[in-house]
Structure 1
Amino acid sequence: MDRSGKMRKRKKRGDERAAAGAPSPSSASFDLHFFPVLLAAARTTRQSSSSCSPAALAARLLRRVLSHSPQTLSPLPASLVALLPLLLSSSCSSVAALSCEVLGAAALRSIEAGETLASHSGIASGLARTLGSRNQRVIEAACNSILDLSASSVGRERLAGSPVLPRTLHLFCQVESVYGFAHSRSTECPERSTEANKIMCLIIDTLVLLVNSCKIGNLQNVQQELARNVLSLLYKIWKKTQPLRSSTDCNKWKNKLQSKEYDISKSIFRLSTGLAFPAWPEPDVVRKSVFGETVSDFETFVLAYWEKLPNLYRRKQATKMDSLVFVALHNAFNLGTTPDSIIESLLQGLVSCPAIASDELDINSFLHEVHDSLGDSVKYRQDIRVMRTRDPNDQTSRGCVTEEHFFDDGTVFTDEDAFIEKCKHAFKNGYSIALRGMEFRSEKVAAIASALADLFGQPSVGANIYFSPAGSQGLARHYDDHCVLVWQLLGSKKWTVWPNPKPLLPRLYEPFDPLDGNLDESSGRVEVLHEGDMMYIPRGYVHEARTDVSGSEVNDCSLHLTLAIEVEAPFEWEGFAHIALHCWAEKQQLRGSQSVEFEGKAGASLSAIVLHVAIRLLSDSEPVFRKACMVAAKAATSSSSCTSTTTHLEALRSSQRSTFDEILRKIDQSCSIKEALERIVSAVRERDDGAFQWMSWLRHLPQQGTAAGYIIDFCNVLGALEALVEAFDSDPGQALDGLTAFKSGFCRRVAYEDACEAFGTLLEMYRMARTQYMRGMLALHGAGAHVS
């Protein structure tokens, strides 16, 4: 062999020593010996089987970094970090996989290093590209690297907000083993193709971790079609893991799928919050189905009946099936079948719908609160009630009629089949089945509830189903703290509604007054609802219903849907008054107006708190304050532009403005600043933290107090009120005069339009949180992703 050949051979051996026999690389030696080879490999676009190719040498170097050089990983040399995006994108599967392993190893050695690497945009993009590889080893290494980099919350959030998440979603939908398992009928852990099962579980774990770490706002940027495809598969996988709690196959799955059942359900919930569900039926269609064809029909209802009197809407039996909404509901609940089939259609596939706090607007806080209970089995009373009320003639005294429940409070039904059979047995023995939260379980009911919420200008409308056997009474005589529209969907039911002698409407969530048993039986209005009929019952009106319809040719079971229009505190007229006051006080604060001196603190804000308390006290005796504010109601869509529609909308708006003017007069004439101050002084001195919790929802309104260096914490106003009490104690007369002048200024100069704008903004915030919750729960019931 000639000289040149010997030189080539000697050079080849030198390269091999650099790759396999060089000292453990420090940062400096790495830059000298390793970096050139890795850079050459990163720039190589062609695959080569040669053992001395740049890719082969790079692979050996990366193996050495992993196996013999722990100091190289803590931290990684800056030059290696700079190369990793290119190495991750290498056409050589070994280089790409080993680069992923280096990332993971570095992250496991140091939390800080993992957070830095996860925050590197180039590395995140490189990892996303590796997830698109056709090589299983590369995909497996990439998923493991993502899990390692996600050891800290910072690392998880960074990767979840990067291209890694959408690429993982695409991968999840494309992997054949995922698709095959999701659509198989068996829940058993497959014994064959163990490598395919391993990668399937790894991809599921990676997806669940990233989705649960992603901010809700970022999840809403995921393509709708992609999100639906993922949800469809993930829902099926979740339903397969549910029975494994007590299954002998559970241990096999524990060794493969690391995600807990509630982790998967949380991913389904979170991923669905940004989905745009079909808005069927349109609000106008619902309005016409309930109140009549014209806007004037709704106007008549609002002015003559809303929160005043019950009203019955009769449907001609021959034309009831002409209503698209009625037909949709009739079909949704399988009502053309036997009672047993109806019960099965109502109860199969149910999960619990945990309550969301009335003033909670952050869906992340809700998810943190429920933690590992999301997607749990239904819970008695929270989700369902199975009860009957005995005939009053069977009671020892007419005032002691009570409900008899089939299950104990708090019972959780983990065995769905056994639960359904017990409900069938209870139904045959005269018990009614009441299922709550239908707007979270049925997409059709959700659309109707949302349309009604728009119509009445409220954040949401609840929906319950009541299925009763013949000759029975489910709920005992009672009244509600919300208005209801009762829609008879199957059979007939006799309702008795008594007049409400109390001028004050009951507030949502306040304790109920016990029925005293002295109700005049003869004063009740009796109506029989047949299929398609609807009746409105205002809050506070005592009522009861039975299926023993005398004179009826058919005395059969009954099913009706109640649509509950729940008027929450911010959306009563009292709430609107608080919003108007807040807006006006903010303007006064920005202008530097001070009615009373409070040691340099924002006088307008503290003066406003006193008036907030005074308005609250006044609402305890003035009925108008408890009525629903409908300034944001949408009686018709913008497409309804005819003259008559415009006229009726203006009539509704004029009515709302007149109510606000009446409220201002009552505040000006009847609000007692002195009484409010006394309450405040008493609460401050007694350190009564709960005295002002009713105003905590005001924290959602914007405050511009930063300009004055002062912001009110509406969840804890006691600290702020200490300064006010000191001023009041030092000169009660001056404080009282200043606060009275503040009240008069508000009543005379407040801008109605400002309050309407703030009211609408707050309503949208509430509606967004409720809509996110609704979408999440619908997805957990298989509705949101259109899955079977």
Structure 2
Amino acid sequence: MHPNAMNRNGKRRKRKGRVDEAAADDASPSSASFDHHVFPILLAAAQTTRQNSNSCSSAALAARLLRRVLSRSPRMLSPLPDSLVALLPRLLSSSCPSVAALSCEVLGAAALRSMEAGEVLASDSGIASGLARALGSGSQRVTEAACNSIMDLSASSVGRERLAGSPVLPSMLHVFFQVESICEFVDSRTTKHPEKDTQANKISYLIIDTVVLLVSSRKVDKMQSMQQELVRSALSLLYKVWKKVKLLRSSADGNNRKNQLQSREYEISKAIFNLSIELASPACLEPDVVRKSIFGQAESNFENFVLAYWEKSPNLYRRKQNTQNDDPVFAALNSAFNLGTTPDAIIESFIKGLVSCPAIASDELDINSFLHEVHDSLGDAIKYRQDIRVLRTEDPSDQTSRVYAREEHFFDDGTVFLDEEAFAKKCKHAFKKGYSVALRGLEFRSKKVAAIASALADLFGQPSVGANIYFSPPRSQGLARHYDDHCVLVWQLLGCKKWMIWPNPKPLLPRLYEPFDPLDCTLDDNSGRVEVLHEGDMMYIPRGYVHEAHTDVGESQMNAYAGYSLHLTLAIEVEPPFEWEGFAHIALHCWVEKQKLGGSRFDRSRAKEETSLFALVLHVAIRLLSNNDPIFRKACIVAAKLPSSSSCTTAHLKALRSSQRSTFDEILRSLEKNCSFKEALKSIELAVQENNDEPFLWMSWLRHLPQGGDADLRIDFCNILEALEELVEAFSSNPEQALVGFTGFTSRFCRYVVYQDACESFGTLLQMYRTTRNQYMRGMLALHGAHVS
């Protein structure tokens, strides 16, 4: 044996080992020892990028030191020496898999020893970048170590959020959809659990768990920086993972597999929801396209509709059968519901793959709060009445009991449908027995319907438009006679349906979310308007108009579908801030905020305080006035997206805009003449006396309007009783003087408020509502597979 070779493999190596061991042991008691003995070696290894004999030797030595740090120096891990923390980004990026993997392990071990240290390390941008590079190394060992390190650093909510908002997440998504074993997992048709999982399977589960954790922890407003194509690819695969997990759950032996994948179904659901929120919709329709499809090609048609029929009377739009195929909107609906097939196939087209759509609060503008609220129910199976109804009403030919007819439901309230196939089978059976199938929230389940609903919301200047589908068998009636608290556009997609509509005898339009009044049982059947809708026809029904519909249209009206009827209702829901009452509140708020910024009248603190209190009383007075004045209940559509072509200065368009301005002027006259300070103050005093804020919960949406000026003078609309108590204390001692001040305040507001300022604030608030509703819509569409390629 050559003497030099013997030296390299014998004494010299042994002596070097003793030096390494001593260095590691010396590093244990203090950071100074680490800096003196270990740091130079790790630095040399971190600085080496090319694979040569020297770099390999340095990397091997560094790896040995890192192993001994992990095994012999637990005290050094809590906290890590600053010099090691500074070095970790380079060590994590090492071209030597052992060094990179062991660096990940050191990072994870330090996080597990101290949650506070873990949060600091997770917040370090250099370490996050190093982890991102480690994930992209291409080494299975390094990838596994990096994922474990990320999981350890994510032990606290702060750590999770920091990593989720760092370059780690994009790198993790790249790894996620590039791992072949994950694709094999989701594409496998078997639910059999193998006796022994391969290492590749275990790493697949780890990667999935890490992705779910990071995506679920990322704040919605941070998703915008993600590459769209990266998100789409990961989203499609994540949806498939979710469906596979649901399939395994329902299989007899799926529990074993599920136990190895730590992520729960609702956590994967949240990850899908989060990932899709800022994803641009691939199916987008311009408001003009929907406007022409519904109201006709002429730009004046929509303006004519608003001026002549909107919230005033029903109107029917007939379609020629030979023009339907040329209509892109109708064609999209035709393909969405398998029109022209069997009833069973149509039912399957809108029942397959459904999940429940939990309600979002009407004034919730933070999607993160919504996600926190629903927590573990996101992605649940659909619930009866909340999502779907299967019902029928007594035979409409029974004239004696017609006005007292009640709905009969096929399922019990609150029933949850876990078995999709069994549920579809029951729906088909119910349909044959004369029951209609009514599915709610179609804008959250079909991207084609979502595109139509979104464009229609823009057209009418409202936050959202709902969409329900109704499939009825021959000679049947689904919903009993009723009225709605929203306007509807009924679009007949298949077959025929006969409608009866009665005039609204009440001057006040019903408000969204308020209790329904009982129907007047003296309605005369002969006084109702009768219309038979054929395929492609659309009818507008204002809110408050009593109506009923059935498929008994007479033999002469029957078509090839033997009396079946499928229709879509598009519900234009006018939420409280977007009625004219809401516009009045917004106008008042804008005017008061403008006064705070200038004018000597408001320089003194006392004057500012009185201004806030008078504004609060006027808000209450506006609300009380709206309970009796019909104009306040009507929809404000100043933000409607009207045609933008060169002919936008037509007389019809001018008339529409002039009509909106005239309505506001009429509201101002009503405020100045009819606002009652005494009535408003009395209602406030009663609420304070009874410590009951329920009558004033309607004010909660006002919290979304910006408030400037002194912080102690701002009104907390979520804790309104405190402000009301202050108001009573200020005004009750001298109500006559307060009345004089309020009258002058109201008069100045009605005279000097700027209409355009109110329109701008109205538009800003509308956009905030639209943003949240669109986020919810995109998230729910993703849970229904809208982004699966």
Residue 263 in structure 1 maps to residue 267 in structure 2: yes
Match of 2:202 among 198, 216, 220: 198
Residue 585 in structure 1 maps to residue 595 in structure 2: no
Partner of 1:750: 753
For residue 228 of structure 1, report the CA deviation from its aligned partner.
Answer: 0.6
Partner of 2:426: 422
Residue 552 in structure 1 maps to residue 557 in structure 2: yes
In 1: Cα distance, 2:197 partner to 2:702 partner: 58
Matches within 5 A, 1:168-207: 168-189=172-193, 194-207=198-211
Return closer, same or farther for 1:57/1:544 CA change in 2, 3 Å cut-off.
same
Residue 294 in structure 1 maps to residue 298 in structure 2: yes
Partner of 1:209: 213
Q: Secondary structure at the match of 1:306?
A: coil
Partner of 2:720: 717
Does the 8 Å contact 1:589/1:602 carry over to 2? Answer: no
In 2: Cα distance, 1:449 partner to 1:567 partner: 14
Matches within 5 A, 1:275-314: 275-314=279-318
Partner of 2:633: 626
Letter in 1 for 2:369: S
Does the 8 Å contact 1:433/1:468 carry over to 2? Answer: yes
In 2: Cα distance, 1:279 partner to 1:76 partner: 51
Matches within 5 A, 1:634-783: 634-636=641-643, 638=644, 640-642=645-647, 646-706=650-710, 709-783=712-786
For residue 675 of structure 1, report the CA deviation from its aligned partner.
Answer: 0.9
Partner of 2:581: 574
For residue 185 of structure 1, report the CA deviation from its aligned partner.
Answer: 2.8
Return closer, same or farther for 1:362/1:676 CA change in 2, 3 Å cut-off.
same
Partner of 2:348: 344
Q: Secondary structure at the match of 2:33?
A: helix
Residue 617 in structure 1 maps to residue 618 in structure 2: no
Does the 8 Å contact 1:269/1:779 carry over to 2? Answer: yes
In 2: Cα distance, 1:27 partner to 1:662 partner: 77
In 2: Cα distance, 1:468 partner to 1:774 partner: 27
For residue 397 of structure 1, report the CA deviation from its aligned partner.
Answer: 3.8
1:613-633 residue CA offsets vs partner (Å, 9 max, x unmatched): 000011011111000001000
For residue 33 of structure 1, report the CA deviation from its aligned partner.
Answer: 1.2
1:342-378 residue CA offsets vs partner (Å, 9 max, x unmatched): 1111100011111110000100011011101111111
TM-score for the superposition, normalised by structure 1: 0.96
For residue 757 of structure 1, report the CA deviation from its aligned partner.
Answer: 0.4
In 2: Cα distance, 1:2 partner to 1:298 partner: 98
Compute the RMSD of aligned alpha carbons.
2.2
Partner of 2:438: 434
Q: Secondary structure at the match of 1:496?
A: strand
Letter in 1 for 2:618: L
Residue 38 in structure 1 maps to residue 20 in structure 2: no
Does the 8 Å contact 1:596/1:735 carry over to 2? Answer: no
Residue 543 in structure 1 maps to residue 547 in structure 2: yes
In 2: Cα distance, 1:583 partner to 1:601 partner: 15
For residue 4 of structure 1, report the CA deviation from its aligned partner.
Answer: 14
Q: Secondary structure at the match of 2:713?
A: coil
In 1: Cα distance, 2:3 partner to 2:430 partner: 98
Matches within 5 A, 1:31-70: 31-47=35-51, 53-70=57-74
Larger mean CA deviation between 647-656 and 363-372 belongs to 647-656
Return closer, same or farther for 1:51/1:671 CA change in 2, 3 Å cut-off.
closer
Letter in 1 for 2:751: R
For residue 649 of structure 1, report the CA deviation from its aligned partner.
Answer: 2.7
For residue 590 of structure 1, report the CA deviation from its aligned partner.
Answer: 3.0
Larger mean CA deviation between 8-17 and 147-156 belongs to 8-17
Q: Secondary structure at the match of 1:705?
A: coil
Does the 8 Å contact 1:596/1:607 carry over to 2? Answer: no
| Pairs aligned (count) | 782
Does the 8 Å contact 1:88/1:129 carry over to 2? Answer: yes
For residue 256 of structure 1, report the CA deviation from its aligned partner.
Answer: 1.8
1:127-183 residue CA offsets vs partner (Å, 9 max, x unmatched): 000001121111000000000000011111111111001000111111111122233
Return closer, same or farther for 1:588/1:432 CA change in 2, 3 Å cut-off.
same
Q: Secondary structure at the match of 2:183?
A: helix
Q: Secondary structure at the match of 2:567?
A: strand
For residue 786 of structure 1, report the CA deviation from its aligned partner.
Answer: 3.9
TM-score for the superposition, normalised by structure 2: 0.96
Matched residues, percent identical?
73
Does the 8 Å contact 1:190/1:197 carry over to 2? Answer: no
In 2: Cα distance, 1:534 partner to 1:356 partner: 29
1:269-288 residue CA offsets vs partner (Å, 9 max, x unmatched): 11101111135332111111
In 2: Cα distance, 1:135 partner to 1:2 partner: 37
Does the 8 Å contact 1:469/1:558 carry over to 2? Answer: yes
Does the 8 Å contact 2:249/2:258 carry over to 1? Answer: no
In 2: Cα distance, 1:409 partner to 1:677 partner: 43
Q: Which stretches in structure 1 are left out of the alignment for 5+ residues?
A: none
In 2: Cα distance, 1:576 partner to 1:655 partner: 15
In 1: Cα distance, 2:73 partner to 2:672 partner: 79
In 2: Cα distance, 1:111 partner to 1:426 partner: 56
Larger mean CA deviation between 544-553 and 504-513 belongs to 544-553
In 2: Cα distance, 1:234 partner to 1:187 partner: 18
Does the 8 Å contact 2:601/2:607 carry over to 1? Answer: no
Matches within 5 A, 1:377-392: 377-392=381-396
Partner of 1:470: 474
Letter in 1 for 2:239: Y
Does the 8 Å contact 1:24/1:68 carry over to 2? Answer: no
Larger mean CA deviation between 681-690 and 225-234 belongs to 681-690
Return closer, same or farther for 1:552/1:255 CA change in 2, 3 Å cut-off.
closer
For residue 726 of structure 1, report the CA deviation from its aligned partner.
Answer: 1.5
1:606-663 residue CA offsets vs partner (Å, 9 max, x unmatched): 2111000000011011111000001000122x3x123x65543322211111110011
In 2: Cα distance, 1:374 partner to 1:188 partner: 27
For residue 392 of structure 1, report the CA deviation from its aligned partner.
Answer: 4.4
For residue 727 of structure 1, report the CA deviation from its aligned partner.
Answer: 2.0
For residue 710 of structure 1, report the CA deviation from its aligned partner.
Answer: 2.3
In 1: Cα distance, 2:330 partner to 2:712 partner: 56
In 1: Cα distance, 2:5 partner to 2:147 partner: 47
For residue 254 of structure 1, report the CA deviation from its aligned partner.
Answer: 3.2
In 2: Cα distance, 1:59 partner to 1:354 partner: 51
Q: Secondary structure at the match of 1:526?
A: strand
For residue 755 of structure 1, report the CA deviation from its aligned partner.
Answer: 0.3
Return closer, same or farther for 1:313/1:31 CA change in 2, 3 Å cut-off.
same
For residue 724 of structure 1, report the CA deviation from its aligned partner.
Answer: 1.7
In 1: Cα distance, 2:333 partner to 2:280 partner: 21
Letter in 1 for 2:386: Q
Partner of 2:411: 407
Larger mean CA deviation between 188-197 and 485-494 belongs to 188-197
For residue 252 of structure 1, report the CA deviation from its aligned partner.
Answer: 2.0
Letter in 2 for 1:497: I
In 2: Cα distance, 1:702 partner to 1:377 partner: 39
Return closer, same or farther for 1:313/1:593 CA change in 2, 3 Å cut-off.
farther
Return closer, same or farther for 1:8/1:144 CA change in 2, 3 Å cut-off.
closer
Does the 8 Å contact 2:498/2:549 carry over to 1? Answer: yes
Return closer, same or farther for 1:722/1:285 CA change in 2, 3 Å cut-off.
same
In 2: Cα distance, 1:506 partner to 1:6 partner: 95
In 2: Cα distance, 1:748 partner to 1:338 partner: 63
Does the 8 Å contact 1:219/1:274 carry over to 2? Answer: yes
1:81-108 residue CA offsets vs partner (Å, 9 max, x unmatched): 1111111111110000000000000000
Matches within 5 A, 1:89-100: 89-100=93-104
Return closer, same or farther for 1:760/1:10 CA change in 2, 3 Å cut-off.
same
Larger mean CA deviation between 489-498 and 188-197 belongs to 188-197
Larger mean CA deviation between 173-182 and 93-102 belongs to 173-182
Partner of 1:87: 91
Return closer, same or farther for 1:733/1:593 CA change in 2, 3 Å cut-off.
farther
Return closer, same or farther for 1:19/1:522 CA change in 2, 3 Å cut-off.
same
Letter in 2 for 1:210: L
In 2: Cα distance, 1:51 partner to 1:531 partner: 76
Partner of 1:19: 20
In 2: Cα distance, 1:500 partner to 1:354 partner: 32
